[in-house]
Amino acid sequence: MTKTSQRVTAAVFCLFLAGFGLLHIILPDRNFSPVENRNLRQMPEFTWSALADGSYTAALETYLSDQFPLRDGWMGLKTRYEYLLGKREFHGVYFCGDRLISKLEDDSRSEQNLACVRQLTEKTDIPVYLGLIPTAAEIWKDYLPEGADSFDQTAYLARAQETGAVWVDIAGALAERRDEAVFYRTDHHWTSLGAYCGYTALLEAMGETPAPLGTARRAADDFYGTLYSTSGVHWLQPDSIERYVSGEGVTVENVSSEETHGLYVDSFLAEKDKYASFLGGNMPLYIVRNENAAASKKLLVVRDSYSDSLAPFLSQTFSEIHLLDLRYYRTSAAQYAEENDMDMIFVCYSVENFIKDTDAAMLAQ
């Protein structure tokens, strides 16, 4: 390389750095990244003590990384490059052709939480049903890359049937429709169709007849979920969100805010977290009421966010449904059920959340 070419290369590199430095100054800082679905670091406040203990420089490094010009585009370019090199796992998410599937690993609480369900069944005379929702890594395991490592959900679900609770075979119901869109392609949640599978499994375990599925109505066709944000795989087509239950005559009480609304909160359809349009997102306690339900029974659902899209189907059968999230409403499930005259208790979690949920200990209280 001649001296002239070396100088040209150095000049181009310096201009490149100067250009990005200028963009960093000109462009306003962003508070939130819709692509990554998280808040971005803002400029840290300088203090001599923070400089001395290293916290200022660490925060400044994070700030510069988060506010890097055209960050979203560079991240997508990096992921595409790694994909071309043969990589198929990105930040704990497998890229499986036209869909993303979260990697599932065992957690130290997986057996403890089964024991908590067993203790719940021993503490109350109210019938307890247990339904654990396998992830897409189980139902769509054939889509996983060769050699992909994942937690053995089949074996875990077999052990879950020994807790003493009435088993709800959600895995079997999902497997029957595995060739359909029972999970979102860019999000970890099940779709409304998947939730209907869970609903039918519960009703069958109770010896009841589920309401028919009905006709799908599309609420959104531009949904990019959590796996899209986490993985950096940003070239997939968006998901659609569909509803099968109109919600007419159904009211939802958000106990913590003392607000009442319908089954769906459409304002979330204009935001990143469109899944929150079911009920209104994660809240400590919802009470869903339907005077025209098929049965005048009260159901307590001890749950995670998967039950948000399950609630519309449950509202067709049960006149009152209490959706209790122990992450935010710490109380004894047995005591709550007795004080509120529940007819049944349904413990319904995704396997992914259940095996690591520290708040599931409240089931044993």
Residue 274 lies in a domain: yes
The answer to whether residues 149 and 30 belong to one domain is no
The answer to whether residues 118 and 258 belong to one domain is yes
**Worst-scoring range by mean pLDDT, 36-40, 89-93, 155-159, 322-326?**
36-40
CA–CA separation, 262 and 249 (whole Å): 8
The answer to whether residues 43 and 165 belong to one domain is no
Instruction: Give residue-wise pLDDT tens across range 126-141.
Output: 999 999 999 999 999 9
More confident: 14 or 170:
170
Instruction: Give residue-wise pLDDT tens across range 214-245.
Output: 999 999 999 999 999 889 898 899 999 999 99
Helix residue ranges per DSSP H, the chain? 3-26, 48-53, 55-66, 71-84, 110-123, 136-139, 153-160, 170-176, 192-205, 226-231, 307-314, 333-339, 351-354
CA–CA separation, 157 and 197 (whole Å): 17
CA–CA separation, 358 and 286 (whole Å): 21
Residue 84 lies in a domain: no
The answer to whether residues 346 and 224 belong to one domain is yes
Residue 80 lies in a domain: no
Count of C-beta atoms within a 10 Å radius of residue 328: 12
The answer to whether residues 58 and 135 belong to one domain is no
CA–CA separation, 5 and 14 (whole Å): 14
Which of 70, 32, 92 has the alpha carbon at shortest distance from 231?
A: 92
CA–CA separation, 355 and 229 (whole Å): 23
The answer to whether residues 39 and 153 belong to one domain is no
CA–CA separation, 349 and 241 (whole Å): 21
Residue 152 lies in a domain: yes
Residue 90 lies in a domain: no
Residue 238 lies in a domain: yes
Count of C-beta atoms within a 10 Å radius of residue 321: 26
Contacts of 273 by beta carbon, 8 Å cutoff, 6+ apart: 37, 281
The answer to whether residues 53 and 114 belong to one domain is no
The answer to whether residues 106 and 167 belong to one domain is yes
The answer to whether residues 313 and 206 belong to one domain is yes
Crossing angle of helices 153-160/110-123, nearest 10°? Answer: 20
Q: Which pLDDT does position 54 carry in this prediction? A: 76
Residue 45 lies in a domain: yes
Q: What is the mean pLDDT of the chain?
A: 87
Q: Which pLDDT does position 5 carry in this prediction? A: 57
CA–CA separation, 309 and 16 (whole Å): 48
Q: Which pLDDT does position 217 carry in this prediction? A: 96
**Worst-scoring range by mean pLDDT, 73-77, 106-110, 359-363?**
73-77
**Worst-scoring range by mean pLDDT, 83-87, 170-174, 235-239, 258-262?**
83-87
Domain that holds residue 191: 99-364
Q: Residue 72: which pLDDT band, with cuts at 50, 70 and 90?
A: low
Residue 326 lies in a domain: yes
Q: Residue 70: which pLDDT band, with cuts at 50, 70 and 90?
A: low
The answer to whether residues 19 and 103 belong to one domain is no
The answer to whether residues 302 and 215 belong to one domain is yes
- What is the percent of the chain where pLDDT is above 90? 66
CA–CA separation, 294 and 318 (whole Å): 7
Q: In the chain, how many domains are there?
A: 2
The answer to whether residues 13 and 63 belong to one domain is yes
Evaluate whether 279 touches 263 at the Cβ level (below 8 Å): yes
